[in-house]
Amino acid sequence: MPTTRATTKDRSAVRTLLRLWPYVRPVRARLLTAAVVAILASCVGLVIPLVLKWMVDGPVADRDPAGVWLGALYLLLLGVGEAVLFGLRRWLVARPLSSVEAGMRADLYRHLQRLPVAFHDRWASGQLLSRGTTDLMLLRMFLAFPLTFLLVNAVTILIGVVIMVLQDWTLGLVILGPAVPVMVMCVIFEKRYAHVARLAQDQVGDLTTVVEESVLGIRIIKGFGRHRSQARAFRELARTLRGTELRKAGLLATIWAVVVTLPEVAIGAALVVGSVQVADGSLTAGTLVAFLSTALALRWPVESIGFLLAMSQEAATATERYFEVMDEAPEDPAAGATARPSGERGLRFHDVRFRYPDAPPDSPPVLDHVDLHIRPGESMALVGATGSGKTTLTALVPRLHEVTSGRITLDGADIAAMSREELRAQVAMAFEEPTLFSASVGENVLMGAGDSAGDAELNRALAVAQADFAHALPQGTDTQVGEQGLSLSGGQRQRLALARAVVGRPRFLVLDDPLSALDVHTEAAVEAALRDVLADTTALIVAHRPSTVLLADRVALLSGGRITAVGTHHELLRTNAEYAHLMSGTEEAEDER
């Protein structure tokens, strides 16, 4: 997994959150309307103290019961109006923000499908899952509440302060006293909270990764009795996350204490000063009641500052994490100029070198000066010791990885000049580790064919792969195989993966040891059926067993990242000691079986 802990030292939360604008723009009218409605609701709340002033200095002072009842009616109507306006605001934002979240999640999923294999090799799946779930939920919450109320509360505080100063400027100065220390504390809090928020969200991704691996690897955990060590690893991560969350809570508690305590002290001081002024007749009781009521009405807008800043920082971190993935350069399936054939047919590797993108610059390449030609209609077996680079070489053909230097051609056309869509329509693969999806058997197999493929193609592919067991499943080829296909045996999964590779009748076929999980008899039946398929295609087959090697017309030996010998199986047995050693080891293993 890459180092995803990005520094927040110089990050501007505002600049980061502005990256959400393309998603927010389509619903900006409703969000702006919701903000205006919320401001109106807050202003209605600020009218209540003015009604109280009128009641105290008017009907109450004049002992007028009718006036008091009229004032009570005004207060009731204002309260109902405020509640209705806030309810309207929530209704306005609910649907559009759900659409924003859904759109961002769809874009993230679509982008992940277009990112190169090298990206997925580097990133832990839990980190990607947390970005598509927890982070997007935080963004929706931010757009629904803090984004609006940062504006609403700022306007409310400004209007409230103006009202209080107009009531009595001396009391207004008393109330404004804590403003400077509160602002200083908010700046300090924002910087510290940003770092801790990023740390917590990264740790959620790590925890998600552990949970996912534990679920997918439950057979290994149980088989080796590792449940205690896995539980211990989970507890360590959970304890670390808990500590980070407690740091967040501590910072939030500190800022909350400041923004609650200082304004409360200021209100208490205003009460004392105002009471003295009322006593000496320089201030009416109604004015003092209105002033204090306005100050109390501003308590929530002021006290919510810390909470809103915290949610804004978490949203900025979530935005940063989301765009870390979205900023990765994707594969462009339509990229590349029109490939111009040079006249040379078949599959050809021209002086190919490959080094993984994140490998140290001074490390030796995985593949070095590979030259290999597989003629049209020929099957080439690729043999080599473990770690020699066989799987990496096969992954270069469909451009799951890009060559570092050199080139690969199909019928003379450079694959780098082809669009990936065009290339992958010509090349099919079957991997040693078969991956099946939570879909039916038929859907899994037909993924390797065009949209027009039907039952005839499906049945042919199943027959070639000796996967006729699919017809005997409870719902036949409509049977759901479950997550990762774990409801099937390893050999069954491998045969379905092979059927997926051959169902589209590809011009070029790349098989990475596709028969490793099969028993001897099934392997022999698959090989017999494969011979007919290989007669009509150009194939590169990673092989470890002599029986698989014998499927091929010729054999290439990969050693130390280079092709060191090419010939038939019997030629290499006679002339190449390394090849003879590799084959003798597999033959002994076959005999032992």
Q: What is the DSSP string of 254-323?
A: HHHHHHHHHHHHHHHHHHHHHHHHHHTTSS-HHHHHHHHHHHHHTHHHHHHHHHHHHHHHHHHHHHHHHH
Task: Indicate whether 422 belongs to any domain.
Answer: yes
* Cα gap 41→83, rounded to integer Å: 8
Give the pLDDT confidence score for residue 501 in this predicted structure. Answer: 86
Q: How far apart (Å, rounded) are the C-alpha atoms in residues 485 and 467?
A: 14
Residues 426 and 322 in one domain: no
Among 326, 357, 383, give the residue marking a domain's end.
326
- Strands across the sheet with 413-414, in order? 367-374, 347-354, 405-410, 413-414
Query: Residue 545 belongs to a domain with what CATH number?
Result: 3.40.50.300
pLDDT of residue 2: 47
| Token couple for 409 | 């051609």
**What is the chain's alpha carbon radius of gyration, rounded to the nearest angstrom?**
35
134 within domain boundaries: yes
Q: Are 222 and 300 within one domain? A: yes
d(CA 434, CA 473): 19
Residues paired with residue 480 on neighbouring β-strands, in sequence order: 440
Looking at residue 373, what is its pLDDT? 93
Final residue in a domain of this structure, among 264, 297, 326 = 326
Which is higher by pLDDT, 22 or 228? 22
Q: Single out the residue in 291, 326, 361 at which a domain terminates.
A: 326
Cβ 396 vs Cβ 403: under 8 Å: yes
Cβ 124 vs Cβ 1: under 8 Å: yes
Q: What is the pLDDT of residues 114-173, one digit of tens each?
A: 888 878 878 888 888 888 888 998 898 888 888 888 888 888 888 888 888 888 888 888
Facing residues of 407 across strands?
350
pLDDT in tens, 291-304: 888 888 888 888 78
**Bridging pattern class, strands 508-512 and 347-354:** unpaired
The answer to whether residues 287 and 204 belong to one domain is: yes
Look at residue 588 in the predicted model and tell me its pLDDT.
45
Q: Across 72-224, where does the E strand assignment appear?
A: none
Q: Are residues 308 and 397 in the same domain?
A: no
Same domain, 234 and 381: no
**460-495 residue pLDDT tens:** 888 888 888 888 888 888 888 866 666 787 778 888
Whether 231 and 161 map to the same domain: the answer is yes
The pLDDT of residue 22 is above 70: yes
> What's at 577, amino acid-wise?
A
For residues 425 and 543, membership in a common domain is answered with yes
**pTM score of the predicted model:** 0.72
- 156 with 292, same domain: the answer is yes
- Per the rule left: phi > 0, alpha: psi between -120 and 50, beta: everything else, 117 is alpha
pLDDT digits (tens, 9 = 90+) for 69-114: 888 888 888 888 888 888 888 788 777 888 888 889 999 999 988 8
The token pair that represents 323 in the structure block: 């765009």
Are 371 and 239 in the same domain?
no
Q: What angle do CA 170, 176, 180 make, to 5 degrees?
A: 145
Please report whether residue 447 resides in a domain. Answer: no
- pLDDT at residue number 335: 53
Q: What is the pLDDT of residues 321-334, one digit of tens each?
A: 999 999 988 876 55
Query: In this structure, what token pair is assigned to residue 285?
Result: 């009781």
Q: Is the same domain home to 264 and 385? A: no
Question: 303: domain CATH number?
Answer: 1.20.1560.10
The mean pLDDT value for 353-382 works out to 88
Q: Which tokens belong to 52?
A: 């109280």
36, part of any domain? yes
Torsion angle defined by CA atoms of residues 575, 580, 582 and 584, in that order, rounded to the nearest 10 degrees: 170
pLDDT above 60: residue 593:
no
Q: CA distances (Å), 177 to each of 105, 189, 267, in order?
A: 46, 20, 10
Are 430 and 423 in contact, with CB atoms under 8 Å apart? no
What residues make up the domain containing 418? Answer: 347-437+509-592
Same domain, 382 and 301: no
At residue 558, the 3 state secondary structure works out as strand
Domain count, the chain: 2
225 and 176 fall within a common domain: yes
Rounded to whole angstroms, how far apart are CA atoms 77 and 246? 43
Please give the residue that has the higher pLDDT: either 50 or 380. Answer: 380
Mean pLDDT of the chain: 83
340 lies in a domain?
A: no
Please indicate, yes or no, if residue 449 is contained in any of the structural domains. Answer: no
